[in-house]
Chains A and B, each alone.
Chain A
Amino acid sequence: MFNEYALHHAWLIPLLPAIAFVVIGFFLRKSPVLSAFLAITMSMVSFILSLGVGYGVVVQHITVEHPLIDKIPWVDIAGLSINMGMYIDPVSALMLFIVTLVSLLVQIYAVGYMKGDDGFGRFFAYLSLFAATMLGLIIAVNFVQMFIFWELVGLCSYLLIGYYFHKPSACEASKKAFMTTRIGDFGLLLGILLLQIVFGTLDFAQLTIAIPEYVQQYGTGVLTVAALLIFAGPIAKSGQFPLHVWLPDAMEGPTPVSALIHAATMVVAGVYLVVRVFFLYSMLPNVMLIIAWVGGFTACFAATIAITQQDIKRILAYSTISQLGYMMLALGVGSVTASMFHLMTHAFFKALMFLAAGSVMHGLHDKGNIFEMGGLRHKMPITFAAMTIGVLAISGIPPFAGFFSKDEILLAVSEVSAPLYIIAVVTAFMTAFYMFRLLFLVFCGPEKPENNPHEAPSTMKFSLIILSIFAIIGGYIPHVYHFGEWIRFGDASHEGLNWTIAATSMVLSVLAMALAWLIYGSGKVSPDRLAMRFSTLYNVSYHKYYIDELYLWLNYTFVRGFGKILYWLDLYIVDGIVNGLAKLTYRMGDELRQWQTGYLQQYGLILFGAILIMVVWLVITAPISMASLRGGAY
């Protein structure tokens, strides 16, 4: 009964937070209690509804082949009609569950974290808007709806990164995030337009049918271009190389935002988009290969940076980029199941780690450098436990959630490409290393006297505990509910553990942990000496391969330089001609004015002179005189 209602009213799931946004934005902004209450209530109802949707999907046996689609016309004009609606299948149901859950927990957490902030109401309004747009993106029925909400989640990200707008760094970071994703959106938009021109429709359900037919008839040329262009969107949104630069800077936003938007939900929108349009990518093996390599490279690349970073949130941010690379890699090798599985567990444990990091920073009055922390396990036991669970999960240690999903990805990769498998395994090793580095530096060792930490308030603890539970049991969900039969593309894939692969990655993780302990835990090896020894490598990694500097230089030199050149042209050439013409007119008037002397004799002379010339002219040209001139008689 309830699942029936939830299924057919799934559009309420994004609408409720949207209502919260409007009401808070217009009326409740000044009242922290009411705005938080409304936002959390709406999130709660959305969460319950999405549970209903999930249950309904199972009960009514809605599969990826037979989604539940409901839509209404939104724009209908000559040559273009756009619908808005909802597309419910197991994949979107899973996403609804993840997003509403994390969003709810983060909002509860934020009540404690943001307490006393001037913009408390504004913060909850933004969070509600984000939830609404993200949920709208998930249930998109066509590319336009996807793109619309895609841009809107970008707006929310922009607003929330720049939440502390008095800080110049936050301001810069929000701008950078918007700009970088805009570049990807440019590609995405072009790809969408190309599909619209070729197929005349952007509806997912219709394209699912039309694309295979098109491929049979015309081959894959145009589609490859379109698919690559569309992939530019996910590259930017999901922080893939080379458009990953915005995500670490996005940590300027409040920590709950980092947990919700820049770890668990918005950044995976890129992965979700590829999954949603897998009907396109699955036709194009070359593009899939590119996706796999982009993902694999990003995973490894980001991990090498994370190793030397010192800011707790930045380490987590690079780790997010790396894990998103993993998800892309899994998609590239054709496993939607593995990718979505990792997306889910990652959402749990990465949100958990961010919230734990937020709790640390809350306790230390916004200090972020991990080398200035230490020994926090005594004063912050719950945060310590939460962070440990998160680290164990991401490092792939059983029985935590990350172990299962990572194993699934490694397995899928190993079946396709050996080099990619090696990259993935090396990344797993590095991941475990930098994560334990963080854990040891922050929570172990002697306490620092200048820090005066305190444990988080109860609302924050509540969210930490719930997410910890999910980070532990998340990995078992597939084994209980036949995950692979629901979340898939094409045939259901194998989902048991492969013990060779599992054992390899586990051993590597334990080794990485031991190494991290050796350097950062026990103090047997000095990290500073290592940094000196490998100073080139250290510097390159610490400065993120100087990519930010390069982009800044490119922007400044070329974009702004070009603007300056054009402005010069505009002032001195285009406008110069205009002003020159005006001057010419003026001069001509000036010249002509000279003729107007006022002397009557002169005027008379000119008058008579002119008459004389005219008379002579008339006489000469008259036929009679012409004839006489020729000497003939008349």
Chain B
Amino acid sequence: MDHFPLLTAIMLAPIIGALFLSFLPREADKIIKMVSALTMMVALGLVIYAYEMYDFNLGGMQFVESRAWIQDLGVSFILGVDGISLPMLLLTVLIGFSTVFASWNITKRSKEFFILLLILLAGVTGTFITQDLFIFLLFYEMVVIPIYIMVLIWGSSKRVSKEYSGMKLTIYLLLGSAFMLVGIIDLYLNAYPSGMRTFSMTALAQANQLGNLSEGFQIFTFFLLMIGFGSLLSMWPLHSWSPDGYAGAPTAVSMIHAGVLKKIGGYGLIRIGLLILPLGAKFWAPWIALLAVCNVLYAGFIALVQKDLKYVIGYSSVSHMGYVLIGFAALNGTGMNGAIGNMFAHGIMSALFFAMIGYVYEKTHTRYIPDLGGLAHQMPRVATGFMLAGMASLGLPGLIGFIPEFTIFVGAFREYPVYALLAISGIIFTALYILRVLANVLFGPRRTEFDGCADARGVELVPLIVLGSVLVVFGVFPQMLMGMVNSGVEPMVPFLTKLHAAPALLGGLFR
């Protein structure tokens, strides 16, 4: 190890923070929050450093750390990031940093809350930097448990009880991981003969070229992974946990969940599904594209008739994941660039949305849209945040959402003109439900019952400023994001071209 273990440090920062918190007295509320903020600030600083230092021209995995761990099983602790995982990592810490401030007003058992939050963030960070499937699963499980506890204790009950939504969320996530686990073990056993078996993603990615994985096997295993990652990504019809889950969860969990956790699904589909099982991906791609259209339109229409703010954004995020899926399903460089870019963009905008909803709920004690109105009078800053997130969500150019969406459309239109057409029509319905929310919540006559509601101020502004400025800066200078993503996708392009040309026995049937 001749250089500073940057990635380990990024992952350990929240864990050390959590450890430190556990020694603090329960009453030291302010210090607990400060320590959490500091920890995430360190992580954020390190990730920004990594983002800056990443060498575009070199590409590939950088900042690699590798330690053998369980040699008999072929498990090793390999960390590394490339142009695909770095944006996800940046997303995680940006949102993680913001959630600490969005939860600043939590007083109930704040110590436990922040410990769980930090563990959760460490887990998510780990999934994005590891290059070993075993470790990947390990980190993933580390994510599920804190979420369950956080929903149950700090959540809120509306249409459904928080117990129900917490349970639903957890069971879906665990069910997803069960499918993943089976798929990964299947892969582990079949990729290499006994004695050479390994969980290393890089090694597994070469198994296909060596001819170790038959097409039938790939189709079956990819299906398992598709169910696993798909339910995580809220792929239709495995999406129903998402709106209910967000509705029950506390603000921070909604932000992390919609912002980052869903992206593990997309990330896994690309990193594990596509790169290790290309023929399987090719077989299922048209089906994914079809489901993607369902995601976009079905969830878009449902978002239109929701009355609870969190449900609107919950269904909206299901709808947006459709774009990611169809970009992935295009299986070309353009679509892939767009899908990854959009994962980042959607993460930022939905986190901002949930943070703003959190403020509105905290101050007005309601999320029921007909009860709200005219909040721009009393809370102009929150209104600005709402506007920014809403406009980014409907794909306004100059904000972060536009270029990734446009890229996806270019990529997908080439492969699936009809599906793409249907998916693109989503921009109309997205605008419809977003504008409806903005109009009903922010605008209209001043309501005196909200006169006592103070605007966001002090540290509450941090999520708005951090996420809002990312929305604008990456929107005006999209190359800052897309250049990074592209450095991860570009090496895949020859591989994808070859995949398109590859004769496929079964894949041809469904084209």
Chain A residues within CB distance 8 Å of chain B? 73-80, 82, 144, 147-149, 151-152, 155, 162, 165-168, 171-172, 174-175, 178-179, 182-183, 185-186, 189-190, 193-194, 196-197, 559-560, 562-564, 566-567, 570, 574-575, 578, 582
Contacts and interface: CB of A to CB of B under 8 A. Distances in A.
- Which of B406, B411, B478 has the most chain A CB atoms inside 10 A of its CB? B406
Nearest to B304: A563
B397 A172 contact: no
B396 A560 contact: no
A80 B171 contact: no
B233 to A, nearest CB: 16
A563 B334 contact: no
Given A73-B479, A78-B334, A185-B427, 14 more contacts: A74-B478, A78-B337, A78-B490, A79-B332, A79-B333, A152-B398, A162-B443, A165-B376, A167-B445, A171-B444, A189-B427, A197-B414, A560-B304, A567-B306
A559 B483 CA distance: 38
B443 A171 contact: yes
A441 to B, nearest CB: 32
Nearest to A162: B443
Interface of B: 168, 171, 237, 239-240, 244, 298, 301-306, 332-334, 337, 374, 376-377, 391, 396-398, 402-403, 406-407, 409-411, 413-414, 420-421, 424-425, 427-429, 431-432, 435-436, 439, 442-446, 478-479, 482-483, 485-486, 489-490, 493
Nearest to A577: B237
A574 B231 CA distance: 13
Contact of A77 (B377, B421, B431, B485): B485
Contact of A152 (B334, B397, B409, B489): B397
- Which of B305, B411, B413, B490 has the most chain A CB atoms inside 10 A of its CB? B305
Given A185-B427, A567-B305, A175 B436 contact: yes
B410 A559 contact: no
A196 B409 CA distance: 11
A560 B305 contact: yes
Contacts of B429: 559
B397 A77 contact: no
Contacts of A80: 334, 337, 407, 410
B479 A79 contact: no
Contacts of A183: 428
B444 A189 contact: no
B428 A182 contact: yes
A189 B411 CA distance: 14
Contact of A559 (B301, B391, B403, B414): B301
Contacts of A567: 301-302, 305-306
Nearest to B172: A578
A78 B409 contact: no
Nearest to B434: A178
A573 B284 CA distance: 25
Contacts of B303: 563
Nearest to B440: A171
A168 B436 CA distance: 12
Nearest to B430: A182
- Which of B333, B377, B397, B444 has the most chain A CB atoms inside 10 A of its CB? B397
A267 B479 CA distance: 31
- Which of A147, A172, A185, A193 has the most chain B CB atoms inside 10 A of its CB? A193
Enumerate the 3 nearest inter-chain pairs by beta-carbon distance, A residue then B residue, closest first: A79-B334, A78-B333, A148-B397
A162 B302 CA distance: 26
A168 B440 CA distance: 10
Contacts of B439: 171-172, 174-175
B435 A165 contact: no
A197 B240 contact: no
Contacts of A144: 406
A165 B377 CA distance: 9
Contact of B410 (A193, A570, A578): A193
Given A152-B396, A152-B397, A166-B374, A75 B479 contact: yes
A570 B391 contact: no
B409 A148 contact: no
Nearest to B341: A77
B444 A168 contact: yes
Contacts of A197: 410, 413-414
A175 B486 CA distance: 36
Contact of B443 (A79, A152, A165, A570): A165
A193 B301 contact: no
Contacts of A168: 444-445
A460 B188 CA distance: 78
A182 B303 CA distance: 18
A84 to B, nearest CB: 10
A73 B477 CA distance: 11
- Which of B398, B443, B478 has the most chain A CB atoms inside 10 A of its CB? B443
A126 B357 CA distance: 26
B305 A563 contact: yes
Contact of B396 (A151, A175, A574): A151
A178 B490 CA distance: 37
Contact of A74 (B302, B376, B479, B490): B479
B374 A562 contact: no
Contacts of A560: 304-305
Given A76-B479, A155-B396, A166-B444, A186 B424 contact: yes
B334 A77 contact: yes
Contact of A193 (B376, B413, B482): B413
Contacts of A559: 301, 304, 429, 432
Contacts of B411: 79
13 contacts: A75-B478, A77-B490, A80-B407, A149-B397, A167-B445, A168-B444, A175-B436, A185-B427, A189-B409, A193-B409, A560-B305, A562-B301, A574-B237
Given A80-B407, A165-B376, A175-B439, A148 B398 contact: yes
- Which of A174, A562, A582 has the most chain B CB atoms inside 10 A of its CB? A562
A78 B336 CA distance: 10
A154 to B, nearest CB: 9
B305 to A, nearest CB: 4
Given A79-B333, A165-B442, A165-B443, A564 B428 contact: no
A148 B443 contact: no
A574 B240 contact: yes
A32 to B, nearest CB: 17
A563 B171 contact: no
B364 to A, nearest CB: 18
A196 B402 CA distance: 16
Contacts of A182: 427-428, 431
B98 to A, nearest CB: 21
A162 B374 CA distance: 12
B87 to A, nearest CB: 13
A151 B397 contact: yes
Contact of B305 (A174, A175, A564): A564
A444 B421 CA distance: 55
A184 B324 CA distance: 24
A436 B248 CA distance: 62
A75 B403 contact: yes
Nearest to A145: B397
Nearest to B496: A78
B305 A166 contact: no
Nearest to B478: A75
A566 B302 contact: yes
Nearest to A159: B387
Given A78-B493, A165-B442, A179 B432 contact: yes
A443 to B, nearest CB: 35
Contacts of A563: 301-305
Given A175-B435, A563-B305, A190 B424 contact: yes
Contacts of A578: 168, 240
A336 B432 CA distance: 35
Contacts of B428: 179, 182-183, 186
A376 B187 CA distance: 85
Contacts of A574: 237, 239-240
- Which of A78, A172, A189, A582 has the most chain B CB atoms inside 10 A of its CB? A78
